[in-house]
């Protein structure tokens, strides 16, 4: 799957990509192939520390992370559409 490939390249490349970078690359690759997916961003507080995480979902299935990542992070209610950010 493309999600696993993006994660593998991110782990072995010269640049250590974070979850947001990996998710944006995957989102872009899928949208170029007309596959409509969602960029999800979630947050949580662990031991007093704020944490955020990003992942991609297609038809409710997580593509580049654990299937239950949505249980660990509270995602924003509104959809995030990076395509709407184009100027």
Q: What is the per-residue pLDDT across 32-79, written as a single tens digit (0 to 9) for each? A: 999 999 999 999 999 999 999 999 999 999 999 999 999 999 988 776
Dist CA 62 CA 75 (whole Å):
13
38, 57 contact by CB (below 8 A): yes
* Predicted confidence (pLDDT) at residue 83 exceeds the cutoff of 60: yes
Element (H, E) at 11: helix 2-12
pTM value is 0.74
Which SS3 state, helix, strand or coil, does residue 70 take? helix
Q: Regarding beta strands 49-58 and 38-46, do their DSSP bridges make them parallel or antiparallel, or are they unpaired? A: antiparallel
């Amino acid at each position: 799957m493309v999600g696993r490939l993006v994660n593998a390249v991110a782990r072995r490349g010269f640049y250590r990509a974070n979850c947001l970078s990996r998710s944006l690359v995957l989102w872009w690759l899928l949208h170029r192939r007309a596959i409509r997916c969602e960029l999800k961003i979630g947050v949580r507080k662990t031991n007093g520390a704020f944490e955020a995480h990003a992942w991609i979902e297609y038809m409710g299935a997580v593509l580049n992370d654990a299937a239950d990542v949505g249980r660990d992070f509270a995602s924003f209610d509104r959809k995030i559409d990076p395509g709407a950010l184009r100027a």
